[in-house]
Amino acid sequence: MENPSFISSADQAAVPFKTKWQAPSNIALVKYWGKTEPQLPKNPSLSFTLSSSVTTTEVEFSPNNRETFEFEFYFEGALKADFNPKLNSFFDRIKTYIPWLNSYSLRISSQNSFPHSSGIASSASAMAALSLCLMDMERKLFPEIAEVGFYKKASFLARLGSGSAARSVEGPVTLWGKNSVQKTGSDLYATAFGTDLNPVFSSYQDTILLVDKGTKAVSSSQGHQLMHNHPFATQRFIQAGHNLADLVAIMKSGDLDGFMRIVETEALSLHAMMMTSNPYFILIQPNTLEIIQKVWKYRKETQIPLCFTLDAGANVHLLYPQKNKEEVGAFIAAELVSFCEQGQYLFDEVGTGAKKV
Ligand code: PMV
């Protein structure tokens, strides 16, 4: 049993309820790559919570006299069965922790603020939004749940849907996984970085350059699997632990040179793991490298602290302080747009976490 304290009671009369939550996507600065069952990370990770890239989910709970849990899932207004396998395994995993769910039929309606296949991690925002709806129902049944316990368990449930979703509940920066610098760090859920976050990071910009909007050749789940028996796995997990410890200090001090060095190291290490897996694979594309070279040249010439990170795909996230928004925007429009599929990119920035709508 993972953590008995997360199991709620089933002894409560079922009541109808409807709730709606909006949860953001996130971008990891220290990457989670490699896990054990059930969705436990092999190393700690740290991420920026985004602001405009969100999933909004409404759940209608209807008491079900047959005592058999069932759900219908609507995506952008249409009944969508494609997501049912993923949702079924999510519900199977979380039912132990929210046993009251068995007396309900759910109507789940979800929509994303960002375009489909834009390379933004929609599973993170989607699983977080759904988990918050479930926790809201739990709070209706058991009103004594404390605020901090509410968000912790929402992150715990979200993690069981998609690992990185654990980091999409709170903001502006979250930490997930046992680590050497934070005594309370847990593999079970993510928590918000403390109040000592340097102010430069609470308004940091993330512009997502859409290099390739297509489906990835190798999914994240397959990639995580390939970290078992990976020749460099042990060293990678140690590296991530050190990078996290260094980055935590930097998130307090505001040392932007240190920030850029760690963030770019992490992005390239993630992709180096992919390229050295068995079987090996490559998700970056020629335009990803063109952009990286341009960013380095621009940084050298202007001294503007612009850096990049990568998710599990070819798209590039450009990270920079809010005060440099104008000049970086001009640089993107002039020099980077030609490397984006159909010239597309999205402006986002660090946000404060999920909210009820
Ligand atoms: O949450 P998953 O299983 O899709 O894995 C996410 C892995 C990365 O996005 C590549 C890194 C991360 O920490 O978000």
Same domain, 207 and 105: no
Same domain, 170 and 234: no
Distance CA 217, CA 357 (A): 36
Same domain, 272 and 190: no
Confidence of residue 154 (pLDDT cuts 50, 70, 90): very high
Q: How far is the CA of 28 from the centre of ligand 1 (A)?
A: 8
- Residue 148 maps to a domain: yes
Report the domain count for the chain: 2
Amino acid identity of 334?
A: A
- Give me the pLDDT at residue 122, please: 87
Amino acid identity of 215?
A: T
Distance CA 29, CA 260 (A): 10
- Residue 239 maps to a domain: yes
Same domain, 68 and 187: yes
Nearest residue (by CA) to ligand 1, atom 4, is 220
Confidence of residue 281 (pLDDT cuts 50, 70, 90): very high
Same domain, 129 and 266: no
- Ligand 1 pocket: which of 29, 31, 127 to mutate (most atoms within 8 A of CB): 31
Domain termination site, one of 197, 226, 249: 197
- Residue 212 maps to a domain: yes
CATH of the domain at 253: 3.30.70.890
Same domain, 36 and 123: yes
The atom number, within ligand 1, closest to the CA of 167 reads 14
Same domain, 159 and 217: no
- Give me the pLDDT at residue 97, please: 96
Domain termination site, one of 197, 232, 262: 197
Residues in the ligand 1 pocket, defined by CB under 6 Å: 28, 31-33, 45, 121, 123, 162-164, 220, 224, 270, 311-312
- Tell me the DSSP string of 180-233: SS-TT--SS-EEE--TT--GGGGG-EEEEE-S--SPPSS-HHHHHHTTTT-TTH
Domain termination site, one of 157, 175, 197: 197
- Segment 25-39 shows an average pLDDT of 97
- Ligand 1 pocket: which of 25, 32, 42 to mutate (most atoms within 8 A of CB): 32
- Residue 355 maps to a domain: no
The atom number, within ligand 1, closest to the CA of 27 reads 14
- 265 φ, ψ (degrees, to nearest 5): -60, -45
Give the tens place of pLDDT for each residue, 304-333.
999 999 999 999 999 999 999 999 999 999
Distance CA 172, CA 178 (A): 19
The two three-digit tokens of residue 343, written as one number:
């010239």
Q: How far is the CA of 137 from the centre of ligand 1 (A)?
A: 28
Q: How far is the CA of 121 from the centre of ligand 1 (A)?
A: 8
The whole model's pTM is what?
Answer: 0.96
Q: Which of 271, 269, 3 is nearest to 149 (CA)?
A: 3
- Ligand 1 pocket: which of 31, 48, 164, 175 to mutate (most atoms within 8 A of CB): 164
- Residue 354 maps to a domain: no
Q: How many CA atoms lie within 13 A of 101 on its CB side?
A: 23
- Residue 228 maps to a domain: yes
CATH of the domain at 101: 3.30.230.10
* pLDDT of 14 higher than 70: yes
Same domain, 142 and 271: no
Domain holding 187, by residue range, is 4-197
Same domain, 188 and 254: no
End-to-end CA distance of the chain: 34
Give the tens place of pLDDT for each residue, 300-309.
999 999 999 9
Distance CA 327, CA 281 (A): 35
